[in-house]
Structure 1
Amino acid sequence: MSKISVVSAVVAVSALMSSIDCAQAASKCVKGEHKPPFSLGWANIYSVPTWMKQTTDTITQEVDQLKSQGLVSKLMITDAQGNANTQIQQIQSMIDAKVDAILIDAGSATALNRVIADACGKGIAVLNFDSLVDTDELTAKIDTDQLEWGQAAADWMVKQIGGKGKIIVMNGPAGISVSDDRRKGAESVLKAHPDVTVLAETNTEYNVAPAQEAMTNLLFANSDIDGVLALGGSLSAGAVLAMDKQGRALVPMTGENYRQFLELWKDKGLKGWATMQPNWLGALAAYTAVQALQGKDVPAFVKVPLPVIDDASLASYIDRAKDFPSDGYIYSRYDQAMFAKLLAQK
């Protein structure tokens, strides 16, 4: 074989290997022809809670920016009103409409698996954030580490009460991955500290009124408590209001970046700790979907670091409170440059 033939063969093989590498690097589920501007679907489990309204706002704002960049044409939004079966039907309608990508905050860890696999099989990018499903037949999951969330909250509580005492645990809805995983994370710490007694615990919606009612009932049944391990911001706000109404002395309490809780924390001199499930996880999901549709390889799991809100950082959140709903969450700032850095994590 001549030198020219050898060189030509090498070039051909290199080109073939390069095309194989590119094909292997493509994001999962994305196949077939996807050309900008893309159509996106946002399958919301429910729109009533303020957290979800704020999340939808971040998605629509991100989509508006992507539209201005010529990358997105439309956003289809559905509301399952808390019903996982309805959410399945709405996702199916998005598949039938041949959207390019679907964003999902799941109403069940398992019920959506089949329809998600169907979307993936049809070449649709599927991005799951916040409340996660237990299937990997999708493009990417985007979340903070909920186990770490629970562990950090429980660690802080144990230190505040000196490694022993009686606490009440407040959880979000049972069966929702965010709530269940936070509780699992907390349990790993509580088991290591047998002198910390869980007097009682409850599961409620992430809303102040039901949390306050639940805490009121628990206070009547438990006169002596040393701390409240609330694994959600509106839960801790409800706990503070319940204790205040009964004239009970406030105890160390964990929570989240819920505006009312942060304001009560400051006003009442509470011993508090909080972290955040950023509402812009939805915006990040929209950005990630477009990256995947453009042929870029995105991580199967995008981990968003958990910030810590303590006495030192509380004021920086309170200073921005006026920019958020009175019953909303004060979340951190975000932009596409930050999203690109999160997707580049190894």
Structure 2
Amino acid sequence: MHRTPRATSTLTGLTALVCIAAVTGCSSAPAPSTPAAASGSAAAGKFVIGFEQPLGGQAWREMGLASLQALAASPAYKDKVELKIVRTNDNDAAQQNAAMQNLIADGVDLILFDPASSSGADAAITQAAAQGIPVIANGGPYDGDDVYIVSTDWANAGTIGADWLLENLGENKNVAVLEGLAGVPLNEGSMPGVIERLEAGGATVVAQDTNGWNEATAQEAMSNILRSNPDIGGVYSFLTGGQGVPEAFSAAGLPFVPVVGGSGYNGEACELVESGPKGLSGDMVFGQPAIYAKGLEQAVKLLEGGTIEKAQYFPPLEITNDNAADYCLADKPANFQLGYDFPGLDLSLDEVLKYYSGS
């Protein structure tokens, strides 16, 4: 049974990009503020589902949004769902919390959000719980009894890569480690376990930096490390770096070493295809951005009266030398994001690309 939405309110006071996305697409215009605009979905008998994303522009998140919208537009969902997608900036937890409170005021039936922090949306979540609006952390973990979780098992993603690196190191056990983006829950929850696993397995971490979840940043950080410490036997780079790190070694004129990356960019898969014969070995461990679509599937199931698990963690994908040729898309750019589909949802690339705004 659908609730009747209250009048829509705009996201005033936020330095945010607001995007209201029905299944027909997405615009950068502010949210409509008239009751007539807000009541359209009620007349159509659809569930109004809000999605809050705190860090736009990254290919992973752009592909996630595209997969979300593609599923909403699919025959099984198009008559059930209206999406309200709100995007805020700079992984700012306060902005995210305010945006979620505005979605509550707009009268959504459920909120999906990719957490900017592990607790920064507590006020909005408490408000939603008081009004009977379910909230699902979608894409990363969140601490709180009133939140469902539909996420990649990021902690396991970290240790999978660490284990692979330990198995593939040669006699040189000196490793460099590049963390992702400091402060983001999935990074903070994973990296301590990665370091512990590497050191317990006999590796010596001789240099650390950040990749910022950007291949260019990963290449620059690795280049800086190699200038002062060229005797590296392996590299662990969390969720990015499978292209930038090997390019740093090439630019420095050094032989390849085993590399763990995992942005899921097309360039990572193609780098393994092209440089594997030259000695590069790699394990690119990443979560499908289509986890957003999986969150929508679970949201609809819950709104239709079904039962879903409170915390759902899904295994990451791995691209290695053995399967890289299956993922490398010769007609797509290096920063094209893979992982557009989620097991069981059967989204085609063409369906998702209708909504994809990345490269």
Fold similarity call, TM over 0.5: yes
Give 1:247 deviation, angstroms: 1.4
Give the direction of change, closer, same or farther, for the CA distance of 1:100–1:66 in structure 2 (3 Å limit): farther
One-letter amino acid matched to 2:194: A
| Secondary structure, counterpart of 1:48 in structure 2 | coil
Mapping 1:253-272, distance limit 5 Å = 253-256=259-262, 257-269=264-276, 270-272=280-282
Given that residues 31 and 123 in structure 1 are in contact (C-alpha distance below 8 angstroms), is that contact kept between their aligned partners in structure 2?
no
Give per-residue Cα distances to partners, 1:245-291, cap 9 Å, x unaligned.
22121110011222112211211111111222101100111111111
In structure 2, the partner of 1:104 is 113
Aligned partner of 2:310 among 300, 314, 326: 300
> 1:17-49, CA deviations, whole angstroms, 9 ceiling, x for partnerless residues?
xxxxxxxxxxxxx99789841111110112111
Instruction: Quote the sequence identity (%).
Output: 25
SS at match of 2:289: coil
The match for 2:294 among 265, 284, 309 is: 284
- In 2, the alpha carbon distance for the partners of 1:226 and 1:108 equals 34
Do structure 1's residue 154 and structure 2's residue 162 form an aligned pair?
yes
Of 295, 314, 320, which aligns to 2:324?
314
List per-residue Cα deviations over 1:135-172 (Å, max 9, x = no partner).
1312x211222221111111111111158610001111
| Kept after mapping to 2: 8 A contact 1:153/1:229 | yes
| Higher share of residues assigned helix | 1
Q: Helix, strand or coil: the match of 1:236?
A: coil
Select which of 141, 144, 158 maps to 1:135. 144
Structure 1 residues 249 and 104: alpha-carbon distance in aligned structure 2, compared to 1, 3 A threshold: same
Q: Alpha carbons of 1:241 and 1:77: their partners in 2 closer, same or farther (altered >3 Å)?
A: same
The answer to whether the aligner puts 1:223 opposite 2:223 as a matched pair is no
SS in 2 for 1:133: coil
In structure 2, give the amino acid aligned to 1:40.
Answer: I
| TM-superposed deviation, 1:204 | 3.4
Structure 1 window deviating more from structure 2 (203-212 vs 245-254): it is: 203-212
2:294–2:345 contact (8 Å) kept in structure 1: no
Contact 2:268 2:334 in 1 (8 A): no
- Quote the Cα distance in structure 1 between the aligned partners of 2:319 and 2:339: 11
Structure 1 letter corresponding to 2:316: L
Q: 1:202 is matched with which residue: 193, 197, 209?
A: 209
Q: Paired residue for 1:62, among 60, 71, 74?
A: 71
* Count, aligned residues: 304
Task: Report the Cα offset of residue 191 of structure 1.
Answer: 3.6
Partner of 1:50: 59
Given that 1:39 and 1:101 are in contact with CA atoms closer than 8 Å, whether structure 2 keeps it comes out as yes
Whether contact under 8 Å (2:156, 2:315) holds in the other structure is no
Q: Determine if the alignment matches structure 1 residue 84 to structure 2 residue 93.
A: yes
For structure 2, the 5+ residue unaligned runs are 6-41, 348-359
Contact 2:97 2:122 in 1 (8 A): no
Q: In 1, Cα distance between the equivalents of 2:134 and 2:116?
A: 19
**Structure 1 unaligned blocks of 5 or more:** 1-29, 340-346
Partner SS state of residue 329, structure 1: coil
Identify if the C-alpha distance between structure 1 residues 163 and 33 changes in structure 2 by more than 3 Å, giving closer, same or farther: farther
Q: Which amino acid aligns with 2:79?
A: G
Report what 2:335 is aligned to: 327
Which residue matches 2:11? Answer: none
- Structure 1 or 2, whichever has the larger Rg, is 1
Distance 1:305 1:167 in 2: 25
Secondary structure (helix, strand or coil) at the match of 2:207 reads: strand
Change in Cα spacing, 1:336 to 1:236, as seen in structure 2 (3 Å) is closer
Amino acid at match of 1:222: N
Tell me, yes or no, if the aligned pair for 1:40 and 1:100 is still in contact at 8 Å. Answer: yes
Structure 1 position 170 matched with structure 2 position 178 = yes
Q: How much does 1:305 deviate?
A: 2.4
Q: Which amino acid aligns with 1:221?
A: S
Which amino acid counterpart does residue 228 of structure 2 have in structure 1? A
